[in-house]
Each structure stands twice: as structure tokens, then as C-alpha cells.
Amino acid sequence: MEPAARTAVRLVVADTIWRPLLWLAAERRYVGRRTDVEVIRGKQARLRRNAATHCLRAMSEAHRQHWDRRYREGGVAPVLQVPPPLPAFAHVDHLFPTRGQVLEIACGRGRGAVWLASRGLTYWGVDVSPVAIDLARRLVELSGVARRCRFDVIDLDAGLPDGESVDLVLCYLFRDFRLDCAMVDRLVPGGLLAVAVRSEVGVGPEEFPDGSQRARPGELREAFGHLEILDEGEGEGIARILARKPG
């Protein structure tokens, strides 16, 4: 095939910094199947890096506004007497701990919080949307588990927030492969990682044009297969994995 026809995306990478990204790009694992990579150096790299930083900030702000709008429309989630597990993990609810600390990234309006805090865990949820965080605080208050919960507005584009090691890291319907290592690192030995994301598996190709956020088939196993896998699956547009960090 002609190179011009093949190239849908051109990724420019400074060789001084994003070496892991360069490697991933070269592997074509996360940047799309039709990506060309150009490596740049020195002043040119610095200039383009600054431009990229501005661009990322603008994207973050756009994301935040999008989610703020959606959460404002939705309001506080229903308060239930027995908060149910998150659907992708309902069948393995019994494998989740009943004490210890949990960090949930991109926690939304708190449905993971009421589930886990009701089980007895001490919960910390972070999300980029202040509206979501406000709704989550109200939900745990109304659900009677606020004393075990903490929430903070955090932009995960800057990485995981600093904090102590935890017994469980939960990431539900949010995917940023740059956080994969940090999520595992944050676990105590023997701790659990629970990730469920939108997946290409089981939905029509119109649902995942180039550049969509859906995980590719096998992506979670590739990312977390070095852990002890307790449960995994992909289908109907959702991929999930529950895995234990070796003790």
C-alpha cells in the first residue's frame, strides 16, 4: 500500500522524553493501527512539547466541561438501601475485600463509593469533574457511609495523586493506559486491581472508529497479565479484569 494512503495519523515524539510512548507507538499498541511515528530532537522537540502540553490542557478542560454538563443533568444517583456492586463485577462481589483502603480513579458520582464503603472499606475517589465529586459527596452522605469516604477533584492526565498503598484500586469505565503501571504500583502486595472499560469486543465497528477510547481485544490482559488473574472477560462492549498483585 502507498505510504500516503496508509498514514491516517502522524505521531511526533521527542526522543528525549516520551521513550515509553515512542516504544508503544512503534509497537502500534495504543496509538491506532494506522499511525506513523516521527522522532524529533533538541529545540524543535521543546517547542513542540510546549505546544502539546497546551493542547493536552485544553483537552482536559474540554473533558471536564463535558462531564460537568452530563452530571449536572443527571443529579445525585438513586439512594438504595443495599447499594449494588458495579455491574461488571457483580458476579465476583464476594472476591472484593470488606476492609482496608480503596482508591477509585475517575469515580464519577459515587456509585463505586457507596458499594465499597458499605462493604466496610475506607474509600478515596478522584475525578476531574467537580460536579461529579459534589454529587458523590451527597450520595455517600445520603447513604450513611460518608464517614468512610473521601473525594477529591483530580485531573488524572497529570498521573495518579500521591498517596499510601491501598488494598484495592478500582477503575470503572475510564481508560488511560498511561496509568496502568501506577495503578499496580499503588497496591500493597496481595492487593486487588479491578478494571472495567468499554471494549471493541461485541459491538459493531461503527462504535470504534480510529481514535475511539474502546479497549482492543485482549488489551487488559496485555496490560495486567503479569498479575494473578481472578476473573476476566470481554463482550457486549465491556472488558473487565480482576487481578491480585503478587504478595
Ligand X SMILES: C[S@@+](CC[C@H](N)C(=O)[O-])C[C@H]1O[C@@H](n2cnc3c(N)ncnc32)[C@H](O)[C@@H]1O
Mention every residue, 6+ apart, whose C-beta is less than 8 A from residue 70.
Answer: none
Please tell me whether residue 173 binds ligand X under the rule CB under 6 A: yes
Written as one letter, the residue type at 94 is H
Under the binding rule (CB under 6 A), the answer on residue 119 touching ligand X is no
- Name 225's Cβ contacts closer than 8 Å, sequence gap at least 6: none
Choosing from 24, 67, 85, 166, the residue that interacts with ligand X (CB under 6 A) is 67
CB count within 10 Å of CB 146 equals: 17
Q: Does 239 bind ligand X (CB under 6 A)?
A: no
Smallest distance, Å, CB 128 to ligand X?
Answer: 3
Give CA–CA dist 137/153, Å, rounded.
12
Return the residue nearest ligand X (CB atom). 108
How does DSSP classify residue 73? Answer: H
Q: Exactly one of 48, 63, 216, 244 binds ligand X (CB under 6 A); which one?
A: 63
**From 60, 79, 138, 229, residue interacting with ligand X (rule: CB under 6 A):** 60
The set of cell numbers assigned to 148 is 468512610
Contact 26, 37 (CB under 8 A): yes
Quick one: 60 or 165, whose CB is closer to ligand X?
Answer: 60
Length of the chain: 247
Q: How far is the CB of 141 from ligand X (least distance, A)?
A: 17
Quick check: 224 binds ligand X (CB under 6 A)?
A: no
Q: Which is nearer to ligand X, 31 or 156 (CB)?
A: 156
Q: Which is closer to ligand X, CB of 63 or CB of 138?
A: 63
- Binding to ligand X, residues 94-113 (CB under 6 A): 106-108, 111
CB 140 within 8 A of CB 112: no
The CB-of-182 to ligand X minimum distance in angstroms stands at 13
Q: How far is CA 207 from the centre of its chain?
A: 19
174 binds ligand X (CB under 6 A): yes
Q: Which is nearer to ligand X, 63 or 216 (CB)?
A: 63
Report in angstroms how near the CB of residue 91 gets to ligand X at its nearest. 17
What's the CA gap between 221 and 241, in Å, rounded? Answer: 8
Q: How far is the CB of 173 from ligand X (least distance, A)?
A: 4
Q: Which is nearer to ligand X, 141 or 157 (CB)?
A: 157
Cβ distance to ligand X smaller for residue 45 or 240: 240
Torsion from C-alpha of 144, 145, 149, 152, nearest 10 degrees = -40
212 vs 29, 131, 206, 216, 235, CA distance in Å? 13, 25, 10, 10, 17
* C-alpha grid cell, residue 113: 463509593
Task: Kindly tell me which of 67 and 224 has the beta carbon lying closer to ligand X.
Answer: 67
Using CB under 6 A, list all residues that contact ligand X. 60, 63, 67, 106-108, 111, 127-129, 132, 155-157, 172-174
